Chains A and B, each alone.
Chain A
Amino acid sequence: ETGVTQTPRHLVMGMTNKKSLKCEQHLGHNAMYWYKQSAKKPLELMFVYNFKEQTENNSVPSRFSPECPNSSHLFLHLHTLQPEDSALYLCASSQEGGAGNTIYFGEGSWLTVV
């Protein structure tokens, strides 16, 4: 069983919908991340939370809104997305948000925007 679980695994949404991706880590880590993986593009870091505080927003459009209520849970709220936002969204965690910490990933949420 993976230490980082994501739900839903697959999501299809219209451009006017509001949906959320959920992530939970069972590793006792203090840092959590959202990454985006599009076809034929390198993995892109979106957001970082360290001890529940957002420490990185990598110029992500406001239609993506993260929420980190505690060190174990991370959400990505989605609103008025575009078809080009279709991608695999990966949640991850690490012991802390410092250099060299091993980052452990979940299985991802496959998002399709129609």
Chain B
Amino acid sequence: AQKVTQAQTEISVVEKEDVTLDCVYETRDTTYYLFWYKQPPSGELVFLIRRNSFDEQNEISGRYSWNFQKSTSSFNFTITASQVVDSAVYFCALSEDDYKLSFGAGTTVTVRA
């Protein structure tokens, strides 16, 4: 069964628009970790954020913000005032009781000038 669901396959926005990427996860563990990664066309997966299950505070880093809601098993990611350099595939991932990362299928974001 898919542990991480990213329902949006592709999102296209115009520069300066905000874009929100959805991530829904499934786990029976009480301790787990959630991640977001960015993959530009070059291929490298760039780490963006790590959040443990006991920290439900939302986080903001520059134009990026994350909304973690355990009640709905969601860990959504918002890019504010998007830029062309934000064009990439974004992956949400879940780590449970071991070192394995379960990745979602990814959301392709295209920001048009």
Contacts and interface: CB of A to CB of B under 8 A. Distances in A.
Q: By CB atoms of chain A within 10 A, which of B45, B103, B105 has the most? A: B45
Interface stretch (B29-37, B59-67, B80-88): B29-37
Contact of A42 (B31, B50, B97, B105): B105
Interface in A1-54: 2, 31, 42-43, 45, 48, 50
Given A43-B91, A45-B101, A48-B99, A102 B35 contact: yes
Interface in A81-112: 88, 90, 92, 94, 97-108, 110
Interface string B4-44: 00000000000000000000000000011101010000111
Nearest to B51: A100
A48 B50 CA distance: 20
Nearest to A107: B44
Contacts of B50: 100, 102
Contacts of B101: 43, 45, 103
- Give the interface size class of chain A: 20 to 34
Nearest to A102: B50
B99 A99 contact: yes
Interface residues of B, number: 25
Nearest to A44: B103
B33 A99 contact: yes
Interface of A: 2, 31, 42-43, 45, 48, 50, 55-56, 88, 90, 92, 94, 97-108, 110
Given A2-B44, A99-B32, A104-B47, 6 more contacts: A42-B103, A42-B105, A43-B103, A56-B100, A99-B95, A99-B99
17 contacts: A2-B44, A42-B103, A43-B91, A98-B99, A99-B33, A99-B99, A100-B32, A100-B33, A100-B52, A102-B35, A102-B47, A102-B50, A103-B101, A105-B37, A105-B45, A105-B46, A105-B47
